[in-house]
């Protein structure tokens, strides 16, 4: 991973930015330069709501290199309040506490580090909403 790439991708991963199609008005994540639904090339960046519900999830035990200290990783597909879906890990929850329909909120967390002196990458994770 290069620092320039991490910097370039900061909008989606630091601020939960998606895109809105200026033609069909659909909003989607991750941000893309063209609309995946109508094909329009005219889209703009929008910030997405931070709260949503879990659509489905997996408890990942066989974890790729560089992430083993995080195992098991709870991987969830979350539907935000405006209907847009985001895939990210759930944190601050035990695997057996998670369920379909659970309410969660996006937070910024450290997600990857190259080495003790290398690059640190931040991104979105979801935490359970406790009210």
Partner 1 sequence: MRRVYAAGVGMTKIDRHYDKGFQELVHIAVKNLVDDVKMFSPEAIVVGNMMSSSLYQQDSLAALVADAAGLRGRGGFKVEAACGSGGHAVAAGYALIASGLYDQVLVVGVEKMSDYPTATTTSALAQAADFEHEAIYGVSFAALNALVMRLYMHRYEARREDLALWPVRMHEYGSQNPYAQLRNRITVEDVLKSAVIADPIRLMDSSPIGDGAAAVLLVSEDVARKVSDTPIQIVGVGMGSDGLDLTSREDLLNPMSVRIAAEKAYKMAGVEPMHIDVAEIHDAFTITALLSIEGLGFAKLGESWRFIKDGRFASGDKPSINLSGGLKARGHPVGATGVYQVAEIVMQLRGDFPGVKVGKAEYGLAMNTGGVATLTSVIILKR
Q: Which residues bind Zn ion (CB under 5 A)?
A: 21, 23-24, 35, 37-38, 40
Tell the smallest beta-carbon distance from residue 27 to partner 1 (Å): 10
Residue 93 interacting partner from Zn ion, partner 1, none (CB closer than 5 to 8 Å by kind): none
What does the per-residue mask of binding to partner 1 show for 53-92, with x meaning CB under 8 A? --xxxxxxxxxxxxxx-x--x-xxx------xxxxxx---
Whether 26 contacts 40, CB under 8 Å: no
What are the Cα distances from residue 33, in Å, to 18, 39, 62?
10, 10, 33
The one among 28, 43, 102, 104 contacting partner 1 by CB under 8 A:
28
* Cα 43 to Cα 115: distance, rounded to the nearest angstrom: 37
Whether 81 contacts 52, CB under 8 Å: yes
What are the Cα distances from residue 63, in Å, to 46, 105, 108?
32, 24, 21
User: Does residue 30 belong to the site contacting partner 1 (CB under 8 A)?
Assistant: yes
Tell the smallest beta-carbon distance from residue 92 to partner 1 (Å): 15
Residue 22 interacting partner from partner 1, Zn ion, none (CB closer than 5 to 8 Å by kind): none
**Apex CA 88: angle with CA 9 and CA 55, to 5°?**
135
User: Does residue 52 belong to the site contacting partner 1 (CB under 8 A)?
Assistant: no
DSSP per position, 13-27: HHH-EEEEETTT--E
- Give residues in contact with partner 1 (CB under 8 A): 9, 12-13, 28-30, 32, 36-37, 55-68, 70, 73, 75-77, 84-89, 95, 100, 111-112, 121, 123, 125
């Amino acid at each position: 991973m290069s620092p320039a790439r991490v910097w370039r991708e900061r909008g989606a991963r630091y601020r939960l930015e998606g895109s809105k199609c200026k033609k069909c008005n659909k909003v989607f994540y991750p941000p893309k330069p063209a609309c995946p639904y109508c094909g329009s090339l005219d889209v703009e960046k929008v910030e997405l709501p931070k709260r949503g519900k879990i659509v489905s999830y997996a408890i990942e035990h066989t974890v790729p290199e560089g992430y083993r200290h995080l195992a098991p990783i709870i991987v969830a597909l979350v539907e935000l309040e405006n209907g847009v879906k985001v895939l990210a890990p759930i944190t601050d929850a035990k695997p057996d506490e998670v369920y379909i329909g659970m309410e969660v909120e996006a937070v910024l967390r450290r997600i990857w580090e190259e080495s003790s002196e290398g690059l640190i990458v931040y991104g979105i994770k979801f935490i359970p909403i406790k009210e």
